[in-house]
Structure 1
Amino acid sequence: MTVRTASVSVQPAAAASLNATDRGRLLSGAHHDPHALLGAHPVPGGVVFRALRPYAQAVAVAIDGTRTRLDDMGDGLFSCVLPLDAIPEYTLLVTYDGTESEVQDPYRFLPALGELDLHLIGEGRHEELWTALGAHPMTHEGVLGTRFTVWAPNAQGVRVCGDFCHWDGNTGFPMRSLGSSGVWELFLPGIGEGTLYKFDITRPDGTHTLRADPMARRTEVPPATASIVTESSHVWGDAEWMAERAAQHPVHEAPFSVYEVHLASWRPGLTYRQLAEQLPAYIGDLGFTHVQFMPVAEHPFGGSWGYQITGFYAPTARLGTPDDFKYLVDALHQAGIGVLMDWVPAHFPRDDWALAEFDGRPLYEHEDPLRAAHPDWGTLEFDYGRREVRNFLVANAAYWCEEFHIDGLRVDAVASMLYLDYSREPGQWVPNEHGGRENLDAVAFLQEMNATVYRRNPGVVTIAEESTAWDGVTRATSEGGLGFGLKWNMGWMHDSLEYMQREPIHRQYHHNEMTFSMVYAYSENYVLPISHDEVVHGKRSLVSKMPGDWWQQRANTRAYLGFMWAHPGKQLLFMGQEFAQGAEWSEAHGPDWWLLDPAYGAEPDHRGIRDLVRDLNTVYAREPALWQRDTDPTGFTWIAGDAAEDNVFAFLRHDAHGTPLLAVSNFSPAVRHGYRLGVPEDIPAWHEMLNTDAARYGGSNVLNQDPVKPEPHPTHGRPTSIQLTLPPLATLWLRPA
């Protein structure tokens, strides 16, 4: 724009000045409505133009090519009154260090957030909250810029600051309060993709705190903590996957085997896009149906593995941008692999730039210190009874599923949410309104989250990490349940690992540790997890838990995996365990991949167990008996559940048509020749389709010749039976020939 010197007269400065109260509040960042003071406003005698530009040498207003210099009112305030009948289109000419820049005035714009958004936020029912709060590049009233919005109901004032104002709170841009919603809003022209920002909040006591945006969709790489303005340009290529996901059977009636991954350490140093080139091929080769990422949301301390989150809406910047993360999910989908992720709504850390006492008072955390402080992790628990907080979390669950096409959320630490007395001594907690220990607010939140996610995202699954006997974790919310699709079977995991760690000679006295799971197997829809939690902090890796020499340790591991894949429930295995890594996992270096590389003298023993995992997944996927009736008691029958002295377990799995699969595990190092098992009389012959003792897996190659034919010899209450040779420390799978 070409401008010329003003030809209009300027009214006296007194007409453009502010009263002492408004001036003081504005300059201290404590004014609720800066738009009423700054910008252009009709006044007696014309229109007042007022700008707050600390450290500016001069400010002028440009109207239709004509410029008028504003009077310097001190403290960065500039103003004048022009004899105009109406507020015109105008820009500001701001001079710093002798350089003049023409800019749009942020305070000439109407709010860029709609009344419906505010209504839904106030009701705690904005299911797409990420579209309303945070930083959003947009065109508003014909001008490009970014709308900033933040919920801070206790603040006296809020200013946006960032790299555009040299992180000086005094030069930040004051936001306006949008009434009783507690939301503050400002449209900043000329601000766009890549801009770093935070909110400078004036607390109720007048002090200031600089906070990252709770709704930030992108962050700086830790340890830096700024939020970043972002917008997505990723074009999804997984339409076929998404359509099939929506149309498929429920997860509990489908094959579901999960490879759990810590992205930053799977192969250290890889970005999201580099992972997209390697991870789908590796998981696809092993035959897992899904990958589960340990928490992806931004977290300040890498050693927390992502379980102490500060940026609930932002994928960690350590590995790339949000679009880079979308690229990884897209690549996995196009390879036919579902993507699950850990989601952590149970707590958040106390970092003073994040959520803790966000606007000067407890906001996201409970106002009762006993309810707010998590007793185990030094963190804060969310206030699930506050509708805006509940909305923040429910929308967050939907956000990951909808913006990043995540296929399932594994919800961390559900037990710590459900109980008021979790890890608390008497006197440290207060019973609920009915006198019980249940956290009714958390129950309502989990029900709302599950119902919302399932309604909005067909084919998505939610999974509870819940270690207690809470009734109805996977029961529908309409029937009073929590509404999860699946639940981790922590009891099975604990009992079976306790059994496996015992010397075989002692296992007969603990036989029930392997059979007890079937007493409650159909009380919920279960996942059998051997997760990262079981291979850290001195618990040893899976193979290192096993007794005996190296051969026996590997044989025990193979037999256990065969038993696990045949047991009712879905499977989850943490990275490194698929090739019997001997060392505990460490986020500092990840799996010991060299164990698989012959160039480094690697033993074939590790490759053999990886080959077994591949075959387990392959056979599992094609045998409906192993997954179709996981939650139906008629899908399982014990053949020998009481053979304690032999350390043997034998059972049948049945598909929807009744076709059986026979699984037999011998957890003794002795070969058992001619071991007789009762079988259904209508099967003319059996085929051994998997034997964990096969030589290609590193076993002793004790196999059964095909076909195995039944004999009219009553055993186990059945008129016919078969004789098998049971290899040492091995599991067999047989199906009708």
Structure 2
Amino acid sequence: MKGEAWPKHTEFFLLERLGYMSSPITDPNHPLYFNDHNRALLTQCRHYDPHSIYGWHPMEEGGAVFRTRQLNAKKVELITPDGGSIELEPLGDDIFGTVLTGENTGGGHKLRITWNNDITTETYDPYSFWPTLGELDMYLIREGRHERLWDVLGSHVCEIETDNFGPVKGTRFAVWAPNAAGVAVIGDFCGWNPNQFPMRSLGSSGIWEIFIPGVGEGEVYKYAIHTQEGWRLDKADPLARRTEVPPRTGSIVTESHYEWQDKEWLEKRDKAQHDVEPMSIYEVHLGSWRDDLGYKELATELVAYVKEMGYTHVEFLPVAEHPFGGSWGYQVTGYYSPTARWGTPDELRELVDAFHAEGIGVIMDWVPAHFPKDDFALGRFDGRAVYEHPDWRRGEQKDWGTYVFDFGRNEVRNFLVANALYWLEEFHMDGLRVDAVASMLYLDYSREDGEWLPNQYGGRENLDAVQFLQEMNATVHKYHEGVLTIAEESTSWPGVTAPTEYNGLGFNLKWNMGWMNDTLEYYSKDPVYRRYHHNEITFAMVYAYSEHYILPFSHDEVVHGKGSLWERMPGDTWNKAAGLRTLYAFMYAHPGKKLLFQGQEFGQVMEWNESRPVEWGNLTGWEGEFHVGISQLVKDLNTLYQENPALFTQDNTPDGFAWTKSDDAENNILSFVRYGSDGEKLLCVFNLGGTSQLSYKLGVPESGFWKCIMNTDLATYEGADNKLEQEVAAWDTGWDGYDHSITLHIPAMSAQYYRWENS
């Protein structure tokens, strides 16, 4: 951007020598005069336009006045383009000024400042540059349609060209604070004094802006916001792209220097047809996977592990900045800042790139439902409700002690939609898993009577949140067709994964919380009692095609006293291990994408705690009994799942699934056939009871041979190693509504997959 500057070879003259002034000019006819009201607003950092006083200003009669405020300066000189200088006169309150003549004296003014300690520095006057935001930017922000908001708000290192001094490098700052009486940038570069760099208001947009020469990458800063009520609030930048390491809360000026290597991956991803492709997700909390690993180390160790285990995707618990580690990232204060706990933004980019190099997609948890009340962050940002709804009945989530976004406000909706795009475009994320969608959809979510406001039609639906979710999904898929959006939604809200053009919310996938709850409830029962809960293990197929589902065994199921999955299995250690093996085999065979949280892949004994790493010791020594087998099974299931189209190509259509045995509650037997779009057929058989079935008859859709391709009872998986026939012939004897049948040995607490061989 080009600022107005002095023409070369202009001669400068002092209009008059004013002499030393220790007090303000009181003569209103004096060129340097400005009234007491403006002086008071400036010294209190409550002036909406400090640029109208500071900097260069032409006079009607010719010439110009120039003022600058330099706190604790002994002497200030204006350096002319020809190398000369003009000493400015002190005007009181650390303000200095002079009157100039010349044909054109505007723009890019350079200063030499001698401080009280006799150190001299040179800088450029920040009040001599035009606004760095254009009218179109401000219009789009007001309308809620600036899809690259992070390019214009926040802090950005840049160069502004001047005619006489060449490019001036510094940082432009811009923040939305519509109710503020005044806003200033503070940091080490000004001794955290808000009087040095007050910002100007850009009218009705609610945006405050300034370009500060000499401030560069790595500088820590905040905004000092002076409220209409007379308070000063020091706030982190809502659009900061880097932060200090918690518990410090400053924002950091940053630039990315990372060179991506994943062009081929992105091209392939954007052509993907996720509905008919396998998806096996490893959910991970980066801070507790292993001790003392940052993004850079994880780019080696975590990537190698996920690759070895055969997952197609990894999902990070939230990586946006959060002040309290115990929130696992779900209490976000820096929506545009990767948490500094584990490294720099570029090191996170390196981690994502490393996954892509191994053909593994990266999903991140995203939290637009609510945000914490920490004083330094978004809450009551300019002294009043800005990001949150002003009415507590819509603006607070009391269960979590958080604020709820005002989804009906254009600027807030813009902040969130642009944030979704930011993570996809700046960090190449392949998916966003949206947390707590149900809390957004319902105005009475976790509220008693009198604690919520109905919508305009008297209903409980949050229509503003619905519109926001639809806009977010539509915008993401408009620019990134291959990116996944995933809803954690625990109710029966219709059309969560229906396209927005059909009035759906527009997500690609939804976590199947009902399947997860019912399945774990069933598995927690002793096999003797499972006959009374048989409906819980079969019920999910009643609604299996109502949405496009992920089957999640997530972090939420192994915390807060619920115990680990291992602990929830009944019986002794052998039965616990056998239970987990059948649980995982059931999940991989059932329609839906797959998700396992860290540690579950080998049956971690203790429930998860974010303050300690995964219990890798379970896999070694005496603790390794059964856990190594579970780990090997999950690894093999990932391979089998991806190699057999019957397990993934028709998840969302009744053509892909048929029960062959769903009603044998007495024996705890289940079986069904999965059909691939290529004609492949897999018979999946489960004995979830404690008694082996030596000759169990099942109807099947085809005659010929059915080959056993997976058996959880093998010694490889530390099962009982019952010897089963590897190929079983189907006879033309009808059974259970099928024209053909087979007879199987189904060991207690085991699962098998049989593939039809068509011969």
TM over 0.5: yes
Alignment equivalent of 2:576, drawn from 553, 559, 570: 553
Show the 5 A alignment for 1:65-464. Answer: 65-87=83-105, 90-96=109-115, 97-141=117-161, 142-171=167-196, 173-249=197-273, 251-464=274-487
Specify the SS of the correspondent of 2:31: helix
How many angstroms apart in 1 are the aligned matches of 2:43 and 2:275?
A: 59
1:16 aligns with 2:40: no
Cα deviation 1:707-735 (Å, max 9, x = unaligned): 11012322111222111110111111110
Are 1:687 and 2:707 counterparts? yes
Task: Provide Cα deviations, 1:511-530, integer angstroms capped at 9, x if missing partner.
Answer: 00000000000000000100
| Counterpart-to-counterpart distance in 1, 2:398 and 2:551 | 28
Note the C-alpha offset of 1:604.
4.0
3-state SS in 2 of match to 1:312: strand
Note the C-alpha offset of 1:6: 8.7
Q: Counterpart amino acid of 1:91? A: K
- Consecutive unaligned residues of structure 1, counting only runs of 5 or more, are none
Q: Percent identity?
A: 54
Structure 2, unmatched stretches of 5+, are 1-10, 19-24, 162-166
Deviation at 1:11, TM superposition (A): 4.8
Measured against aligned partners, the alpha-carbon deviations of 1:505-560 in whole angstroms (never above 9, x if no partner) come to: 10011100000000000000000100000001111101110001110000000011
Q: Following TM superposition, by how much is the alpha carbon of 1:9 offset from its aligned partner in structure 2, in angstroms?
A: 5.0
The Cα shift of 1:45 comes to 5.7
- Letter aligned with residue 509 of structure 2: L
Distance in 2 (alpha carbons) for counterparts of 1:363 and 1:502: 49
Instruction: Note if 1:713 corresponds to 2:748.
Output: no
Native 8 Å contact 2:55 2:68 kept in 1: yes
Check the 8 A contact 1:252/1:486 in 2, yes or no.
Answer: no
Tell me how far 1:165 sits from its aligned partner. 1.0
Offset, 1:688:
0.4
Amino acid at match of 2:99: V
Q: Which moved more, 1:36-45 or 1:93-102?
A: 36-45
Greater alpha carbon shift after TM alignment, 82-91 vs 415-424: 82-91
User: Which residue of the partner structure matches residue 753 of structure 2?
Assistant: 733
Q: If the length of structure 1 is used for normalisation, what is the TM-score?
A: 0.97
Given the alignment of the two structures, is residue 467 of structure 1 paired with residue 485 of structure 2, yes or no? Answer: no
Specify the alignment match of 2:164 in structure 1: none
For 2:701 and 2:711, locate their aligned partners in 1 and report how far apart those are by CA, in whole Å: 21
Separation in structure 1 between the aligned mates of residue 535 and residue 41 of structure 2, nearest angstrom: 71
**RMSD between superposed Cα atoms in Å:** 1.4
Could you tell me which amino acid in structure 1 is paired with residue 76 of structure 2? V
Distance 2:618 2:538 in 1: 34
TM-superposed deviation, 1:17 = 2.7
* Whole-angstrom distance in 1 between the partners of 2:370 and 2:665: 44
CA-CA distance at 1:191 after TM superposition: 1.1
Which residue in the other structure is 1:57 paired with?
Answer: 74
Q: 2: distance between equivalents of 1:703 and 1:517?
A: 32
Q: Residue 591 of structure 2: which of 568, 573, 583 is its match?
A: 568
Q: Give yes or no for the alignment of 1:579 onto 2:590.
A: no
Q: Is the CA contact 2:14–2:98 (under 8 Å) kept in the aligned structure 1?
A: no
In 1, distance between residues paired with 2:215 and 2:720? 68
Q: Which moved more, 1:717-726 or 1:607-616?
A: 717-726
CA distance in 2, matches of 1:541, 1:453: 35
Task: Kindly state the Cα deviation for residue 21 of structure 1 after the two structures are TM-superposed.
Answer: 1.0
Q: Distance in 1 between matches of 2:359 and 2:83?
A: 60
Contact 1:112 1:140 in 2 (8 A): no
Query: Is contact 1:635-1:655 (8 Å) kept?
Result: yes
Q: Say whether the 8 Å CA contact 2:12–2:102 is kept in structure 1.
A: no
Q: Give the SS at the match of 1:206.
A: coil
Give, in angstroms, the shift of residue 270 of structure 1: 0.4
Indicate which of 54, 58, 68 corresponds to 1:42: 58
Q: Distance in 2 between matches of 1:269 and 1:577?
A: 21
Which one of 518, 526, 530 corresponds to residue 507 of structure 1? Answer: 530
Q: Deviations over 1:615-643 (max 9, x none)?
A: 00000001111010100111100000101
Distance of 1:361 and 1:414 partners within structure 2: 26
Residue identity matched to 2:546: S
> What is the 5 A alignment of 1:581-620?
581-598=604-621, 601-620=622-641
Corresponding residue number in structure 1 for 2:501: 478
1:644 aligns with 2:668: no
Are residue 668 (structure 1) and residue 710 (structure 2) matched?
A: no
Residues 354-378 of structure 1 deviation map (CA, whole Å, 9 limit, x = unaligned): 0011011100000112111102100
Contact 2:626/2:717, CA 8 A, preserved across alignment: yes
Instruction: Report if aligned partners of 2:617, 2:624 keep a CA contact under 8 Å in 1.
Output: no
Output the CA distance in 2 between the equivalents of 1:51 and 1:66. Answer: 18
448-457 or 91-100, which deviates more: 91-100
Amino acid corresponding to residue 637 of structure 2 in structure 1:
L
Matched residues in 2 for 1:624 and 1:179: separation?
59
C-alpha displacement of 1:107:
0.7
Pairwise CA distance, 1:303: 0.4
Please name the residue that 2:22 is paired with. Answer: none
What are the superposed Cα offsets for residues 56-84 of structure 1, whole Å, 9 maximum, x if unpaired? 11211111222111111111111111233
Cα deviation, residue 458, structure 1: 2.0
Q: Which amino acid aligns with 2:16?
A: V
SS of corresponding position for 1:263? coil
Question: Shift of the alpha carbon at 1:275?
Answer: 0.3
